[in-house]
Structure 1
Amino acid sequence: MAEPPSGELLLAGVLPLTSVPLIDKTLPSLDEIKKAVARLKSGRTAGVCDIPAELIKAGDKTMIGELHAVIDAVWQTGGILPDWTKSLVTPIWKGIGDQRDCSIYCGITVLGVLGKVLAHILLMHIRDYLLRFQGLKQSEFTPEKSTVDCILALQALVERRLEVTNLGFADGAVILVESQETLLNALEEFHENAKSLGLKAY
């Protein structure tokens, strides 16, 4: 049977559990309800509940207070009202081709307004936790990051690629070269330098 290691294990790059932000499970405050309601967009479809965003906003403090009481009850019991979990899928014509062809429609999912308020509050409570484990490539729904920036970066890469005549791959890395001959010469020089140092290059 193997003996356990006597020394301490090296945990380079591993963060202790205490540094990981915990999900905020406290009851939503009145200010959070106000912020969630303020994020609702006017002039949109009400969804299954038939309650438009304009009605919630026009109710002001009284409506916010009542909504706060309902969301607190949902938060404590864990039971969500059925209408808050349902959504309507509306087919939208893409604007091209024959409108009788079902393949040229895209579906838009419409969540009820009160369900949106709850979704905004849940996002507020889990955002810090999600951002901690989110990959660098994620841009959408991330503060101070824009999907437009990623699209512009991708466009610049494509334009740069069109300027060169060849593209080489080396162990996961991408090498931009003017020609295949330039790449071969660079690799040969690398091999020669490696040999003079007593190293093996594959």
Structure 2
Amino acid sequence: MTEDRGKNDAHRAAIIAAVGAVVAAVLAAVSAIVVAYINKPATSASTPVSSPTSPSVSATPASTFAIPAECDGKFGITRPADMTKISASGGAEFAGTACDGEQIWLLDHDPTDGYYYQVNAEPLVIAAGAWRFVNAPIGNPGDRRGTVYPVVVLRATTSCSEALKNMKADGEGTVKFTPLPTTCPAPGDKAHRTEVRLVNDGP
């Protein structure tokens, strides 16, 4: 009887030892997993690939009569002087200043009927901030000495230039019109329009 009890105690101790070993193994495995998870390097979030973007294209501003700061005060006529006497057939050489790339037009103005007569068929060429053009002949056959010929010089926008270039000649090949296109500088716009009066001193 005593022998059997001793065997049972030994058997129970063996079972407890085996269970303890299993539990210890499980705990060790769990601990290893936890440690591995904690020590795992952090992975950075993937960066999305951005789509290539087209270069930005600036819209071309509409034509206006705004004067760039660098061109302020550069538009003008250097010759002829106002009320210069001329021969109607020889006319006069006009010269002046403007910024390169600007568009200059000359128009003979007949104050008796209000018509403008186109002098140059294209905007004048600006070279090194200067322009020149020979306006001849001026007036009409039979004009008397002392007849005054106003000549208007325009600092035109692109839209004004296009309007002037699109003017049609009459049956005699003369381009005349009234009033000025609405896109061109109006009387009183001294920043974009100036006038010189020439005086008939003979044919």
Give me the TM-score of the superposition, normalised by structure 1: 0.18
Highest RCO, 1 vs 2 (Cα 8 Å, sep ≥ 6): 2
Give me the TM-score of the superposition, normalised by structure 2: 0.18
In terms of fraction of residues, the more helix-rich structure is 1
